[in-house]
Amino acid sequence: MMRKSEHEFRPKPELLSPAGDMERLEAAVRYGADAVYLAGKDYGMRAAPGNFTREELKRAVELCHNNGVRVHVTCNTLPRNHELRELPGFLSYCAEIGVDALIICDLGVLSLAREYAPGVDLHVSTQTGIVNYAAAKACYDLGARRVVLAREVPLSEIKEIRENIPDDLELEAFVHGSMCVSFSGRCLLSNYMTGRDANRGQCAQPCRWEYFLTEKQRPERHFSIVERGDGTYIMNSNDLCMIEHIPEMLDAGICSLKIEGRAKSAYYVACVTAAYRRAIDFFYEHPGEKLPPEILSETEKISHRTYSPGFYFGGEPGQTTDCSHYTRNYQVAAVCAGRSGEYVLLRQRNKFLRGAAVDVLQPGEAFTATLTEIYNEDFEPLESAPHAEMPVYWRTTLPLEEGAYIRIRRE
């Protein structure tokens, strides 16, 4: 008889999804997130996404709480002196609108949050670099309810941390997404090379660029760092994917599984959130069984780099040194905009043809279909849909929901 693992006796972990703007927030909520993390216009570690104005933050909290989803606001930059003047007002506003947690890296910000947002849970950011139980307990003594562990900590050491910290101190860890070549994101390379400070949310990702060596007396000559003629991407870390190893993460004592990607698309958020939602539920409903391929394959239907288990099993993620390109096995052909009788209205995202085999993503299980009958706005038959955002009517009895993604495998 199979022995039950410890995770079966614990509550399900929190699935924590990224939200770079309102569209991505709605995708996270719709596709099964238990919580989302997002930023205001300042103090967050991702400047590239739209992020949220104060009014948008309020609407985000209302939307999430109406759907039983928690909201974690990132205040994890390292603010300079002049930026501290506005921070108390922002922290008070977060408390006023009902934000559930603040994610913080800087000790000064942590102290201010205790004073100006006393009812809000405090989470210590991964960039703080928590790698041992003494540091975790020190954060707890400073008022932290949760620590987001450094990405470099293996599961064996996470388990030891869990065994040596207070029971009510929670552990959060990344489960999927991009990895940084620097220790838990503490990087100065972008600032040095481009003037864009990675520790203030402006990383230009120079670790993904192609590099050569030069010799002092011959600066005009470029020498490949490996024995190739087209350079090497020595700092191009592989992506993290732990969807097959959720039970091991839970057995180590992690209670929140975090998906990276606030700068990525709403489709990315929807697809990865849906995959991990299904995986978590599967492991609880079928303990000891292997993850079905139809769930695992969802992680291949987004743009991604080569996958690895990160540092969780020892070693390191590794790098893809021959290029910095993404793997793109699928693309979104259209998004469902609603139904009228026997027709579904699609909004085109990429060109597709009549008769194309498509893969449909919507809450619940994905399914496949064929675009046998498609029509233009005048309900004239179409052979293809080549124009961006063009409306296309698909005649089908399939139960497509508004917002469903219609995907096509790339050849």
**Which pLDDT score, from 0 to 100, does residue 4 have?**
46
Quote the CA–CA distance of 394 and 370 in Å, as a whole number: 10
**Which pLDDT score, from 0 to 100, does residue 133 have?**
98
Read off the pLDDT of each residue in 289-313 and give the average, rounded to a whole number: 94
Euclidean distance between the first and the last CA atom of the chain, given in angstroms as a whole number: 45
Are 19 and 127 within one domain?
yes
Question: Into how many domains does the chain fold?
Answer: 2
C-alpha distances out from residue 57 to 60, 71, 314, Å: 5, 10, 39
Are 80 and 135 within one domain?
yes
Are 293 and 388 within one domain?
no
Quote the CA–CA distance of 148 and 174 in Å, as a whole number: 8
**Which pLDDT score, from 0 to 100, does residue 158 have?**
98
> Does residue 14 sit within a domain?
yes
> Does residue 215 sit within a domain?
no
Q: Is the pLDDT of residue 312 over 90?
A: yes
CATH number of the domain that residue 100 is part of: 3.20.20.70
> Does residue 223 sit within a domain?
no
Q: Is the pLDDT of residue 278 over 90?
A: yes
Are 253 and 392 within one domain?
no
**Which pLDDT score, from 0 to 100, does residue 185 have?**
59
Are 30 and 99 within one domain?
yes
> Does residue 188 sit within a domain?
no
Are 150 and 52 within one domain?
yes
Are 107 and 174 within one domain?
yes
**Which pLDDT score, from 0 to 100, does residue 3 have?**
38
pLDDT tier, 11 (very low <50, low <70, confident <90, very high otherwise): confident
More confident residue, 11 or 229: 11
Quote the CA–CA distance of 94 and 293 in Å, as a whole number: 41
Instruction: Single out the residue in 286, 302, 318 at which a domain terminates.
Output: 302
For the entire predicted model, the pTM comes to 0.86
Quote the CA–CA distance of 160 and 136 in Å, as a whole number: 12
Q: Are 201 and 190 in contact (CB under 8 A)?
A: no
Partner residues linked to 172 by β-bridges: 148, 256
Give the pLDDT confidence of 189-244 residue by residue, as tens digits: 666 567 676 665 666 666 666 666 676 676 776 655 553 545 566 667 788 999 99
CATH number of the domain that residue 396 is part of: 2.40.30.10
For residue 393, the enclosing domain spans 330-409
Quote the CA–CA distance of 154 and 324 in Å, as a whole number: 26
Instruction: Tell me how far apart the 2 most distant CA atoms of the chain are, in Å.
Output: 74
Are 52 and 125 within one domain?
yes
Token digits of residue 335: 């998004």
Are 109 and 254 within one domain?
yes
Give the pLDDT confidence of 331-355 residue by residue, as tens digits: 999 999 999 899 999 999 999 999 9
**Which pLDDT score, from 0 to 100, does residue 92 have?**
97
Q: Are 355 and 344 in contact (CB under 8 A)?
A: no
Quote the CA–CA distance of 210 and 227 in Å, as a whole number: 14
> Does residue 191 sit within a domain?
no
**Which pLDDT score, from 0 to 100, does residue 233 have?**
67
Q: Which of 298, 297, 406 is nearest to 353 (CA)?
A: 406
The helix (run of H) or strand (run of E) holding residue 331 is strand 330-340
**Which pLDDT score, from 0 to 100, does residue 10 have?**
73
C-alpha distances out from residue 67 to 27, 85, 359, 365, Å: 12, 34, 27, 20
Give the pLDDT confidence of 357-386 residue by residue, as tens digits: 999 999 988 899 999 999 999 999 999 999
Token digits of residue 208: 């993904």
Q: Is the pLDDT of residue 107 over 50?
A: yes
Give the pLDDT confidence of 240-271 residue by residue, as tens digits: 999 999 999 999 999 999 999 998 999 999 99
Helices then strands, counting H and E runs in the chain, come out as: 10, 21
CA 322 to chain centre: 25
Q: How many CB atoms lie within 10 A of CB 205?
A: 19
**Which pLDDT score, from 0 to 100, does residue 274 have?**
97
> Does residue 199 sit within a domain?
no
Read off the pLDDT of each residue in 107-116 and give the average, rounded to a whole number: 96
Q: Are 259 and 176 in contact (CB under 8 A)?
A: yes
> Does residue 195 sit within a domain?
no
Q: How many CB atoms lie within 10 A of CB 107?
A: 12
**Which pLDDT score, from 0 to 100, does residue 297 have?**
95
Instruction: Single out the residue in 265, 282, 302 at which a domain terminates.
Output: 302
Q: Is the pLDDT of residue 9 over 90?
A: no
Are 65 and 135 within one domain?
yes
**Which pLDDT score, from 0 to 100, does residue 224 have?**
57
Q: Which of 73, 60, 57, 65 is nearest to 25 (CA)?
A: 60
DSSP states along 194-212: HS--GGGT----GGGS-BE
Q: Which 3 state secondary structure label does DSSP give 391? A: strand
Q: Is the pLDDT of residue 178 over 80?
A: yes
Are 281 and 334 within one domain?
no
Backbone φ, ψ for residue 88 (5° rounding): -55, -40
E strand residue ranges, 3-155: 14-18, 35-38, 70-75, 101-104, 121-124, 146-148
Q: Are 277 and 15 in contact (CB under 8 A)?
A: yes
> Does residue 206 sit within a domain?
no
**Which pLDDT score, from 0 to 100, does residue 326 have?**
76
Token digits of residue 379: 């309900």
Are 77 and 114 within one domain?
yes
Instruction: Single out the residue in 252, 284, 302 at which a domain terminates.
Output: 302
- Per the prediction, the chain carries an average pLDDT of 88
